[in-house]
Each structure stands twice: as structure tokens, then as C-alpha cells.
Amino acid sequence: MKRLKFLITGTKGQLAKEFVKELTNRGLEFTALTKEELDISDTNKVFKVIKEVKPDIVINCAAYNLVDKAESSPTEAIAVNTLGVANLAFACVDIKAILVHYSTDYVFDGTKVGFYTEEDRPNPLNEYGKSKLFGEFFIQKVLENYLIFRVSWVYGEGRQNFIYKLLQWAKEREVLQIAFNEVSVPTYTGFIVEKTLKALEKGLTGLYHLVPRGYASRYEWAKLTLKLFRIEKVLIPVEKEIFNLPAKRPDFSAMSCEKIEKALGEEFEEWDEIYSKVYSNYVSIS
């Protein structure tokens, strides 16, 4: 990759942390900013910072991802996931920078039989999904040079993921009830970062589903996690509806990675192969 300058937003999040680690390892030039340093919902601040930094590529890892809270506070989700993304898009136009943005499988309603492709029509069931979809629209209307990657069930170094929550529950309970009728694709931050940088190297633009191959229910994911972490608990598959969560989730939102595989000229691994490699040597997580 030629010498480029990156700007990473949302640096405290698990995906941004992975980008910082990888860009550092590669000796690439980047500026990584926390929400306190750059709140993307602040229009003036976004334009000021981007004009000062003058990045070639903006990697937006900032997001409002409190799915249930968004039901009662949709304006908070819209401020970041829609208006904040619009701010970045307009600022990128100003300096002719490429914007890389991450969306979600929650733009789909889960009623399709089979994997979702980029051609399928979104129909989000919750406020979080709507706010992310509107963010996609802004980018596509404003920019020509952009990459939108829809990802799902992201996990990595951090606490804002299913693994951390599951392991906390395992510390507190002997019996764990996990949904069997919520299905998608667990996706590792290291996988996302690696494929994003390859896409940039190849000069790709547009919308892609960036997930490994395969799919899993929350129950199947939890079962593999407890096995890898050598934790013995009673795991009971239940319908997700019993949790009575504020935000409705799609039953099956697994996405096809075929388009991005073809664009990158490679075949991805299955999600559980990646997951097993990442956590094969772990016995605990902080």
C-alpha cells in the first residue's frame, strides 16, 4: 500500500483498537481519535478536525450500538449513526478523502429464506437498524469513493460483545438460557481489519457484506465459547422472545460474503474456524 494517512474515529471501541494495532504493526501513518476528541455528531468539529488532519482515508469506527436503548432514545442513535456519518461524508467530499464505514445486518428483517446479499432490500426492525441504514444512504448520496461494510456480531478486545457478556453470565449462574432462534455470523475484528485493508489496496468502492462463511445461532456460538474457555455450565436453548427485550431482532440475518470474496479474489474461512483460532489458547477473559 502506498504511503497514505488514515484517520480513525471511535478509538475506544473494539474495532478501532484492532485498526490501531494493525496500522502500527504495518508502520502506516494514522491519527486515532476518541469520542471526546472527535464527536462525529458535532458538525463543526468534524470539518475542523478533518481539514487539520487531511487524511486520505477516514475509517469510521464511531457508532451508537446500544440496540435496546435506541428504542427509547432514537435521537441519540440518529445523532451518531445517521447525522454523524453524514458529517463525515460531507467533510470527506471537501478534501477528497475515502470514507470507510461499518453498517450492520440489522438493516434486514430476517424473513428471507437464505443468506442476505447486497441486492436484498433492507427493512430494519428496530431504531438502531434504521439509524444505520440512513447513515448508509447519506454516504451513497454524497460520496463516490466510499466503502460501506455491513458486519455482524462483531467480537474482539473489549466488553461490548456477546462473548464478554456470556462469560460474565457464566460467572454468576450455573444455568444459562441462550436464544436458538437468533441467527447471524460472528465476525472477528482482526478479520474485518485485514479484509478492509485488502479492499483499500485493491481500490474497491461500494457496499459489501464483510463476514466470514457460515452462520450460527446465539446458542451455537455460546456452546462453542464455553467449550473453548473450558467452562462447564448448563446451557439451555430458548426462544429469544422470552427475554422480552425492547428492540426486536431479526430471526435470521446471516449475510453472504460472496461479493467481497470475488472482489478480493479469495475464499474466506468459516466463522467457527476463525473463532477457534482466536480463542484456542484462552481460559479466561478480562
* Cβ atoms within 10 Å of 271's Cβ, excluding its own: 26
The residue behind cell 437498524 is 129
Catalytic option among 116, 128, 146, 208: 128
Longest dimension (CA), the chain: 55
Annotation marks residue 116 as catalytic = no
- Strand 98-104 relative to strand 183-184: parallel, antiparallel, unpaired? unpaired
Residue 43 three-state SS = helix
Residue 234 three-state SS = strand
Strand order in the sheet with 146-151: 29-32, 5-9, 57-60, 98-104, 146-151, 206-209
DSSP 8-state assignment for residue 116: B
Residues designated as active site: 128
